[in-house]
Structure 1
Amino acid sequence: MNFQEYEVIDFACDESFQRYCLEADDRDLHFWENWLTQHPEKRLTVQEAREIVMILSAKQGNRLEQLKHLEDGIARYDLLQEALEEEQPPVVLRRRHIWKYAAIATGVLLLAGSSFLFFRHTPAPAEKHQLVTAGQDPRKTLVLPDGSSVILRQHSSLQLAPGFNKDNRNLTLTGEAFFDVTQNAQHPFMVHTAALDIKVLGTVFNVSAYTNSRETETALFKGKIEVTLPGQPQQKIILQPNQKLVTHAATPFAIAPLDADPVSHKAREIAWVRNRLEIENEPLEVIAGKLEQWYGIRVVFADETVKHYRYSGTFESETIIKALDALQLSYPFSFKMEQGEIIISK
């Protein structure tokens, strides 16, 4: 097992690591102490994971199972949970995680029956719509608070409903966007446009819904989506992978297969998303410039040393988060998002 790829939540959910934190087994204690000696760059991550384990165990070793139920949602949400909150003060991504984990862990302890913590309820201020626009960028990549990835096309915009990822996952699209949606059965992902509403039953799809166009197109690549047209709430149109729904103001809707390029065999519906990025033993500083152009997100460095790390790879339809995660596998670095920028550090 490659523990170097572990993040905070991975360590905290590892049974051997839990026994190490609780000093429950000499073999685990010896193993992790040796591993940390060999990998000092992971000490901060390990320390945060230790704090989570100790909070959940309440130093008794009897609350760790609660963490497993949180793993998937936390891991996705923590990619860049504040990516859209541009007014938030700069905070290092890793360090903010521990406080959110601690808050969630405290909630788990309370639900499990602990009675030694009490909180005074303070009414939260009314939430507002969050509006994000691509502007002049050819593409703008977003990571929504629920961990879903969205690529917005030039001059397109998304408006998130109040309570997004808390009470609902509703948003309104103007223009065109490519979605890779995380699953959450409790809060279905809903995309609203002027011409139709989309309930996401799967994951990956593209929607073209420009206000100055009489035609709206929804193309599905993976999973399943349910489309409802205005004035026809009882009619649910289910799309399967490799199908698209086209609506026109003057004609009924039509379902057709995706339009594949005869040479590349790639769907033309998302040609605007695809822009094959090939990297061959290039420094991260050069790669950052390519990522800026490809994804429409500014990339800056907080550390001069990391600029000279060299990487090779090929990316086509990945989100910027997945691209950076892939680069990290061969030569680790850290990154965070602040006010629409990605900041890379050692």
Structure 2
Amino acid sequence: MDDDRFIELLLKDLSGEILREEREELQHFLKDEECLKRYKLYKMYWSEHDTAHTDNEALFHNVQLRIGEQENAFSDDKANRPGRSAFIYRWKYAAAIVLIGVCSFLLYRTIGSDNLTSAGSWGEKITARGRKVSFILPDGTHVSLNSDSKIRFPKSFSGKAREVYLSGEAFFDVKKDASHPFIIHAGKMNVRVLGTAFNVKAYPNESSSETTLIRGAVEVTLKDRPEDKIILKPTEKLIVNYSTSKAPADKVEEEPQKRIAQSNALTQITYMQKQDTTIVETSWVQNKLIFKNEDFAEVGRSMERWYNMDIHFRNESLKELRFSGNFETETIDQALMALQATEPFRYKIEGRSVYIY
């Protein structure tokens, strides 16, 4: 059994960065009783609250503190508990394994593809399809970056505002600072906040962008209509629809089509079911692929990013089919079979391509 591979999969699972096929591989490891014990041990030191939105340095520090606290607790009790020395030794040995594993994982994150790159005074995070990452900005703001997304931010915020640039989708839990507003530039939208939690979806190849507010308040302005200011309240969602126009002849090489914010709509966040706390718009943060009454074209785009696959429609009319779904550990084959149970279509998987017909 490949122990290094097991540790890599284990830590990727605990950090929420594991791929679907890797999760299946991890489940195979966990059939072994010893691997299952080690997995449970790691979970004791890997608190979801502390590590779901953290950077590498903070993660390492938190794990060190946990191990120190555990060792101190054992040491204080040692004199009154016969045979405790051997038990403490085993725990210290396990703690060392955890630290080694975390260090290995941090190295993996440092050399992996979804990493922070630097250019002068700016940093950048990029995620490939099928990948997600969580981290903390220099001001303490927590960011979860969805797949196929990019965010640029200053290495150190200065000036009157904290400004970042997003292409794709991200969930923000903004550190409160009334004197320095936080501004996200996302396509045609500028989202301005002081301290709040919300989701921004602005993929450049999609016909609309969304801002979904969970708590607090945000102000959204559109680059094409800067005089309009839309204020969102908790549980509200702003949808901005775009139209495209041909660029001037001298700009065709740079941008053949120009997106223009044509209309917007203010609506409520979407719950999967009545009296259900699962919010569709932010379900990806909990590693769930959820959609409700969406057309097949939009579902296909979400599945492409989720599974890192290319989906091709051989029958254009099938794009109009509408689906609702909730997937977590399913493979793309299993997900498509589930969709087939509600609407008639056929599909074929060849390598990393899916053909719908």
Q: TM-score range by the shorter chain?
A: 0.3 to 0.5
Normalised to the residue count of structure 2, the TM-score between the two structures is 0.41
Q: Point out which structure has higher relative CO (alpha carbons under 8 A, 6+ apart).
A: 1
Normalised to the residue count of structure 1, the TM-score between the two structures is 0.42
Query: Where is the strand percentage greater, Structure 1 or Structure 2?
Result: 2
